[in-house]
Amino acid sequence: MTRTVKRAFKYRFYPSPGQAAELARTFGCVRLVYNMALRARTEAWTLRQERVGYNSTSALLTGWKKTEELAFLNEVSCVSLQQALRHLQVAFTNFFAKRARYPTFKSKKRSRRSAEYTTSGFRWRDGRLTLAKMTEPLDIVWSRPLPDGASPSTVTVSQDSAGRWFVSLLCHDVIEQAPAAATGAGGVGVDAGLDSLLTLSTGERITNPKHERRDRAALARAQRNLARKEQGSANRVKARLTVARIHARITDRRRDHLHKLTTRLVRENQTIVIEDLTVRNMVTNHHLARAISDAAWRQLRTMLDYKSEWYGRNLVVVDRWLPSSKLCSVCGALAERMPLRVRSWTCRCGTVHDRDVNAARNILAEGLSVLACGGGVRPQRESSRTGRSSAKQETQRATAGVPGF
């Protein structure tokens, strides 16, 4: 069985000095147009209670280009500027749907430097990509081939804080949905932790690589060196790039490991059950914040989410208040207390449990019951006792009840 999905293929490229200057100018214009449109929409609502949509901001952009002060906007591709307005419209749509906060202005130093091109803003011919306002194609390092016969519908060019250039090609790809392996036909429960990144209901433990800890000493030296540099000096720019490269190396290793891990889980199992962990509340615990951030549980869940959709798998997210560590997976008895120092315990039925493996088995059983009963897969948002779950309650659970810590 096959399925056609949209996939983005990201590659590194090396622009010529002229291309780098053109892209830097485009990034600046995209940021300026986004901020001006955001200011116009905010002022229209604040002063006149008037909602301004994409069409109105597009008309404003046309007027801006005709002014003497903003005539330089005509020097870059108009496609990227229009895409910036569409991105702003999506941001407001998410805000009104209560999926995100109110849009904020883009910063020259902190915001992501990127520009998006649709089909009218680039030329794709014989495997070579040429952007608008450029005469030479980009020098792309094809680390992996595009799907056979694929033609990009959207191209996004970006530059990270370490100075590296990337191009992302959005294409249609045909994915083979192979049947799950026999060993994982019944599904697998996944318990996230810090010592072991994941513990599976099969008893397998996946070690936490702790990528940030490996480079912690080098990162500390680079940051101390950066702190000694004078503000605005060329040496400070060099020191900042050194720090950024170390962060980029940590991020790349973490992302690569998570991609391999999630792809393996999705290909081997038809049903994957995970726990709904509130990472944003957990990182308020200063003793565990660095370790939790390095584990990247939220990124792991995001990858499992879209890869399960690609390969036709079932991803079930169970309630975060499930007492998975204290519940016996054999007889169903619930232990009264389970301190973090207890890594194994004996139930009244005589079964000796490993804390993490038992939690993973309970998570799997809960997820399979949800599928069997035809219930929804969304986790409950309220506490069973109070009807509400406050941030304080979730923080207490993060420090005292999350399995695998």
* pLDDT tens for each residue of 309-366: 988 899 999 888 888 888 888 888 888 787 777 788 788 788 888 888 988 999 998 8
Q: Of 275, 294, 366, 394, which one is the catalytic site residue?
A: 275
Predicted pLDDT of residue 255: 96
pLDDT beyond 60 at 151: yes
In the annotation, is 43 catalytic?
Answer: no
Report whether pLDDT(399) > 80.
Answer: no
- Of these residues, 191, 212, 294, 394, which one is catalytic? 191
pLDDT-derived band of residue 121, with 50, 70 and 90 as boundaries?
very high
> What are the tens digits of pLDDT across the range 9-28?
999 999 999 999 999 999 99
Q: Full-prediction pTM beyond 0.85?
A: no
Q: Which of 22, 212, 356, 366 is catalytic?
A: 356
Per-residue confidence (pLDDT) for residue 5, from 0 to 100: 87
Identify the pLDDT of residue 378.
Answer: 43
Active site residue 191: yes
Q: What is the pLDDT of residue 400?
A: 41
Q: Which domains does the chain have, with CATH numbers?
A: 2-176 (no CATH), 183-213+240-400 (3.30.420)
Q: Is 276 a catalytic residue?
A: no
Q: With a cut of 60, say whether residue 183 has pLDDT above it.
A: no
The three state secondary structure string of the chain is: CEEEEEEEEEEEECCCHHHHHHHHHHHHHHHHHHHHHHHHHHHHHHHHCCCCCHHHHHHHHHHHHHCCCCHHHHHCCHHHHHHHHHHHHHHHHHHHCCCCCCCCCCCCCCCCEEEEEEHHHEEEECCEEEECCCCCCCCEECCCCCCCCCCCCEEEEEECCCCCEEEEEEEEEEEECCCCCHHHCCCEEEEECCCEEEEECCCCEEECCCHHHHCHHHHHHHHHHHHCCCCCCHHHHHHHHHHHHHHHHHHHHHHHHHHHHHHHHHHHCCEEEEECCCHHHHCCCCCCHHHHHHHCHHHHHHHHHHHHHHHCCEEEEECCCCCCCCECCCCCCECCCCCCCCCEEECCCCCEEEHHHHHHHHHHHHHHHHHHHCCCCCCCCCCCCCCCCCHHHHHHHHHHCCCCC
